[in-house]
């Protein structure tokens, strides 16, 4: 959403406002002036480049940061080499996400040596870990601004502090109950958008670091959510993705509690909105009420991401997932019965501490029974501070690798078979992009989240088109536009 606020009308000579978001708009106006001065000094506009790691939450947070950067006068570039401001929005859910950031910082240091105007900022989940910030303070002094997941709304203020002081600015909050509304944001796509409905997570799955770095669960007020979507729709958006770590527990912490199913019904009413997606759904909280709402909805897409993590009831218990294999399979059965066209996707962790061959076979069994249209498979990664990190019986690498390969093979076989089912059908797709590989082709997304490539012009982007699914290529289709 673009808040068309003219920063030049804000008085920055007076005292700093103490309420939000006014305070941040004051700092944006100040930043804008400082950026203008710098830009005059160099004789060209200043450029920024942001890199986002991790999940949709981070992607959405980056849009908010880019919204502020654009408003204060930075132009976007894809190349770090030509940027005067580089921001990494980090993820720490698995160790490899974490390591990549350190690797890239080494490269940024070299770039900064060549460009004296360059500023480097780090934010996101990794910054919520005390040992990470210590390491940065000690060995990465060239980083200019460090902030976490709870105070993204303060970005303009922190940047202003840095521009005025020349010192490393660090601001990390342990947790927050605050949700600041009405800040600017820049969307990646004009026709679809992610909308946060809640922040944080209360589930504490024993392997997962997210509750520690994203804090306790907080739901946004339904009125704010609806207003945001209405504004998005008036700005050309036809599809929204409602975002939360566990959308099914939406509304529990509100003064006027409301269920996720009730929220969906309100979103459904928004005129002009065509498609609704949401993620992630925790199986333990997926209610019959939600199944009914999905079944009757004209807008909710026929895709549900329902992470299972493991098929073994024994492992699920140690993971603190609060459902077992039977309960999960029963839920899937009820979903499929209510919506025979529903495409299910999942997340699976291989090699959780103590996982035996028998446990793993249970996971394979679930995969065979559910027949996912796709699945994200992860090798268990030990995250310091989580209960699973101190569990004995961490699984040897070669055993994990073998299980991982077997799982992947099964998933690929099943998802290819599942995809085949739609061959020859005519479906409505939302055109998202021109096809990078074949000239003159565009790519559309089906309601069930599958992609189809077909001949078409760039002008079709953002529109709904009926396409015939001619040939299944495993995880996507080649098709043609029906007139």
Give me the residues that bind ligand SF4 (CB under 6 A), please. 201, 203-205, 208, 210-211, 245-246, 282
In the complex with ligand SAH, which residue's Cβ is closer, 210 or 465?
210
Residue of 263, 349, 414, 442 that binds ligand SAH (CB under 6 A): 349
Residue 208 interacts with ligand SAH (CB under 6 A)?
A: yes
Residue 122 interacts with ligand F3S (CB under 6 A)?
A: no
Q: Give me the least distance between CB of 305 and ligand F3S, in Å please.
A: 13
Residue 93 interacts with ligand F3S (CB under 6 A)?
A: yes
Say whether the peptide bond before residue 280 is cis (omega within 30 degrees of 0). yes
Query: 3-state class of 382 per DSSP?
Result: coil
Residue 214 interacts with ligand F3S (CB under 6 A)?
A: yes
Residue 196 interacts with ligand F3S (CB under 6 A)?
A: no
| Dist. CA 274–CA 447, nearest whole Å | 11
Strands 145-147 and 169-171: what pairing? parallel
Residue 196 interacts with ligand SAH (CB under 6 A)?
A: no
Residue 97 interacts with ligand SAH (CB under 6 A)?
A: no
| Dist. CA 85–CA 155, nearest whole Å | 13
Considering only residues 357 through 386, tell me which ones interact with ligand SAH, judged by CB under 6 A.
Answer: 378, 380-381, 383
Is 205 annotated as contributing to ligand binding? yes
In the complex with ligand F3S, which residue's Cβ is closer, 206 or 259?
206
Is 91 annotated as contributing to ligand binding? yes
Interface region with ligand F3S, contact rule CB under 6 A, candidates 22-30, 38-46, 53-61, 325-333: 53-61
Residue 210 interacts with ligand F3S (CB under 6 A)?
A: yes
Q: Give me the least distance between CB of 52 and ligand F3S, in Å please.
A: 8
Q: Give me the least distance between CB of 104 and ligand SAH, in Å please.
A: 21
Judge contact between 139 and 81, C-beta under 8 A. no
Strands 85-90 and 47-52: what pairing? parallel
Is 482 annotated as contributing to ligand binding? no
Q: Count Cβ atoms within 10 A of the Cβ of residue 9 and give its class: 0-12 exposed, 13-18 middle, 19 or more buried.
A: exposed
Region for residue 174 given its phi and psi (left: phi exceeds 0; alpha: psi -120 to 50; beta: otherwise):
alpha
Residue 299 interacts with ligand SAH (CB under 6 A)?
A: no
**Closest Cα to residue 135, out of 209, 143, 215?**
143
Neighbour count for residue 330 (Cβ, 10 Å): 12
Chain-centroid distance, C-alpha 452: 23
End-to-end CA distance of the chain: 33
Is 123 annotated as contributing to ligand binding? no
Residue 58 interacts with ligand F3S (CB under 6 A)?
A: yes
Say what the alpha-carbon torsion angle 310, 316, 319, 322 is, to the nearest 10 degrees: 130
Q: Binding site: residue ranges?
A: 55, 91, 125, 201, 205, 208
Q: Binding site for [4Fe-4S] cluster: residue ranges?
A: 55, 91, 125, 201, 205, 208
């Amino acid at each position: 959403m673009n808040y068309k606020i003219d920063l030049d009308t804000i008085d920055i000579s007076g005292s700093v406002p103490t309420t939000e978001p006014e305070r941040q708009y004051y700092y944006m106006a100040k930043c804008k002036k400082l950026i203008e001065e710098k830009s005059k000094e160099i004789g060209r506009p200043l450029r920024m480049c942001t890199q986002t790691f991790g999940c949709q939450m981070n992607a959405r947070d980056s849009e908010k940061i880019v919204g502020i950067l654009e408003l204060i006068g930075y132009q976007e570039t894809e190349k770090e080499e030509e940027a005067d401001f580089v921001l990494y929005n980090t993820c720490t859910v698995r160790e490899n996400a974490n390591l990549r950031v350190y690797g890239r910082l080494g490269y940024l240091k070299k770039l900064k040596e060549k460009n004296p105007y360059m500023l480097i900022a780090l934010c996101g989940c990794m910054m919520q870990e005390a040992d990470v910030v210590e390491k940065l303070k000690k060995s990465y002094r060239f980083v200019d601004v460090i902030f976490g997941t709870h105070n993204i709304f303060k970005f303009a203020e922190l940047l202003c502090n840095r521009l005025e002081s020349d010192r490393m600015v660090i601001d990390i909050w342990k947790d927050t109950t605050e949700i600041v509304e009405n800040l600017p944001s820049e969307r990646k796509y004009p026709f679809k958008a992610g909308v946060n409905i809640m922040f944080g997570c209360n589930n504490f799955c024993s392997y997962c670091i997210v509750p520690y770095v994203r804090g306790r669960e907080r739901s946004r007020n339904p009125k704010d959510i609806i207003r945001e979507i209405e504004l998005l729709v008036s700005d050309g958006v036809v599809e929204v993705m409602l975002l939360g770590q566990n959308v099914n527990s939406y509304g529990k912490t509100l003064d006027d509690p409301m269920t996720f199913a009730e929220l969906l019904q309100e979103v459904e009413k928004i005129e002009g909105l065509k498609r609704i997606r949401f993620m992630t759904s925790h199986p333990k909280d997926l209610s019959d009420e939600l199944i009914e709402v999905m079944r009757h909805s004209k807008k909710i897409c026929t895709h549900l991401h329902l992470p299972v993590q493991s098929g073994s009831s024994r492992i699920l218990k140690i993971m603190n997932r609060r459902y077992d294999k039977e309960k999960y399979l029963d839920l899937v059965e009820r979903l499929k019965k209510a919506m025979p066209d529903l495409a299910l996707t999942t997340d699976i962790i291989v090699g959780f501490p103590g996982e035996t061959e028998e446990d793993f076979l249970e996971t394979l069994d679930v995969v065979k029974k559910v027949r996912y249209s796709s699945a994200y498979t992860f090798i268990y990664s030990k995250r310091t501070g989580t209960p699973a990190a101190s569990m004995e019986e961490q699984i040897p690498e070669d055993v994990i690798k073998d299980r991982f390969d077997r799982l992947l093979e099964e998933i690929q076989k099943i998802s290819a078979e599942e995809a085949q089912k739609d061959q020859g059908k005519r479906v409505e797709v939302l055109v998202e992009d021109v096809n990078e590989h074949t000239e003159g082709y565009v790519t559309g997304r089906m309601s069930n989240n599958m992609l189809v490539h077909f001949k078409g012009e760039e002008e079709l982007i953002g529109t709904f088109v009926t396409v015939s699914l001619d040939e299944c290529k495993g995880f996507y289709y080649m098709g043609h536009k029906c007139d």
